[in-house]
C-alpha cells in the first residue's frame, strides 16, 4: 500500500505546533531603542512612529524600570540634541556632561543591571546632519571623523556604557575605538558594530525623532548601496578583524538575505535592526485596519530570527514583551 506523507500531523494543534517550532522569538532576543531629550517631566510622541516617545531623563528612567520589569535586558540610547548645542564638528558628542553621558550615569545608578548601549555617530550632534565631519568641499572626511568617534566612545565608556555601537560606517573606526578603549582600561566595554548598514529609505521616521536628517546631500558615500551583497561580507570581515564583538545588519526586513549570508559567514552574534520605517509601516496599516498589527509584528520579527539574527533592535520590544509575558 502506498504510504501517504502527511505533514499536517505536526500542525494539528497549538501544542503540536509549539513542539516542532523551528524558530522561537523571546524577550531575551530584543534591544529596545529609546530617545532621550533635555528638560523635565516631558514625553513627546514621535508623530511618524506611533507609540514611540522622546523622554526627558526623569521619565526615561521610569520607562526603563518598567521595560526591565517586563524582561527587556538591553536598551539602545539615542539623543535629541538641541540646535544650540550642535556645531559642524560634533563637539557636544564627547562632552562629559552631555545628554547621553548624564543619561548613562543615571540609568546605571537607577537600573544597574540593564545593558546600556550607546550610539556612536555624529549626525545628532552636527549642524549639517552627517555622520562624519564635512570639509570645505562638502566631502565627508574619514580619518578626522574617526578621531572624534574615538573621543565620543571613550566619554560614553567613562559614563558607564556597557556597549558602544558605531553606526557611522567610517572605515577603520572599529579598530581605532577598540584600541582606545583597551588603552584606557575599558577592555570589558563591548562593541556592537553597524557592519552592513545600507543607505536606506527606511530611516525617515528615525530622523524625524532626532531631527538629524542631513541638511544637504545624502549618505551614500559611507552607507552601503542597497544593491550590493558581497560588500556586506567585506564590511563584516573587516569589523571582525578590528575587534567587533557583535555585528549588525541594518535595515532588517528588506535585507533578510544579507542577515542569512552574514550568519553563515561568522560565529559572532548577529544583530538586525528593525528600523523606524519598518515599524511605521506596520503601525500605519494597523491603524487603518488593513492588517492585524500584532500578528504582523510578531511574524516580521520571527522572520528576522529565522533568517539568522540572534539579536533584534526593535521599537516593538515593549509591545512584544507585554505579549510574551501574558503567554
- The catalytic residue positions are 197, 250
**CA-CA distance, 227 to 225, in Å (whole number)?**
5
At 131, is the secondary structure helix, strand, or coil? Answer: coil
Contact yes or no for 278/286 (Cβ under 8 A): no
Is the omega angle on the peptide bond into residue 251 within 30 degrees of 0, that is, cis? yes
According to DSSP, the β-strands at 53-56 and 43-45 are antiparallel
**CA-CA distance, 123 to 163, in Å (whole number)?**
19
The three cell numbers of residue 186 are 575599558
The three cell numbers of residue 222 are 559611507
The three cell numbers of residue 3 are 504510504
Phi, psi of 167 (to 5 degrees): -115, 10
Taking residue 198's Cβ as centre, other Cβ atoms within 10 Å add up to 25
Amino acid at each position: 500500500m502506498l504510504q501517504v506523507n502527511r505533514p499536517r500531523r505536526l500542525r494539528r494543534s497549538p501544542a503540536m505546533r509549539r513542539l516542532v517550532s523551528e524558530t522561537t522569538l523571546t524577550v531575551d532576543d530584543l534591544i529596545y531603542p529609546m530617545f532621550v531629550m533635555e528638560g523635565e517631566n516631558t514625553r513627546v510622541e514621535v508623530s511618524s512612529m506611533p507609540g514611540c516617545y522622546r523622554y526627558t531623563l526623569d521619565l526615561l528612567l521610569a520607562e526603563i524600570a518598567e521595560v526591565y520589569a517586563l524582561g527587556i535586558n538591553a536598551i539602545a540610547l539615542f539623543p535629541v540634541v538641541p540646535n544650540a548645542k550642535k556645531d559642524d564638528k560634533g563637539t557636544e558628542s564627547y562632552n562629559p556632561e552631555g545628554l547621553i553621558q548624564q543619561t548613562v550615569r543615571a540609568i546605571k545608578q537607577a537600573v544597574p543591571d540593564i545593558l546600556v548601549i550607546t550610539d556612536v555617530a555624529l549626525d545628532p550632534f552636527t549642524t549639517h546632519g552627517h555622520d562624519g565631519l564635512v570639509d570645505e568641499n562638502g566631502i565627508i572626511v574619514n580619518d578626522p571623523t574617526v578621531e572624534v568617534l574615538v573621543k565620543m566612545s571613550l566619554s560614553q565608556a567613562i559614563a558607564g556604557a556597557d556597549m558602544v555601537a558605531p553606526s557611522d560606517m567610517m572605515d577603520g573606526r572599529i579598530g581605532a575605538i577598540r584600541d582606545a578603549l583597551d588603552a584606557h582600561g575599558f577592555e570589558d566595554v563591548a562593541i556592537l558594530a553597524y557592519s552592513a548598514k545600507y543607505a536606506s529609505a527606511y530611516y525617515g521616521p528615525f530622523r524625524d525623532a532626532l531631527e538629524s536628517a542631513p541638511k544637504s546631500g545624502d549618505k551614500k558615500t559611507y552607507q552601503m548601496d542597497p544593491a550590493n551583497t558581497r560588500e556586506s561580507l567585506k564590511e563584516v570581515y573587516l569589523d571582525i578583524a578590528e575587534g567587533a564583538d557583535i555585528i549588525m545588519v541594518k535595515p532588517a526586513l528588506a535585507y533578510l538575505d544579507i542577515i542569512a549570508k552574514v550568519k553563515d559567514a561568522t560565529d559572532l552574534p548577529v544583530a538586525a535592526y528593525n528600523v523606524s520605517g519598518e515599524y511605521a509601516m506596520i503601525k500605519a496599516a494597523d491603524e487603518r485596519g488593513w492588517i492585524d498589527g500584532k500578528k504582523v509584528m510578531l511574524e516580521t520579527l520571527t522572520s528576522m530570527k529565522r533568517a539568522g539574527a540572534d539579536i533584534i533592535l526593535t521599537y516593538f520590544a515593549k509591545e512584544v514583551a507585554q505579549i510574551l509575558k501574558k503567554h
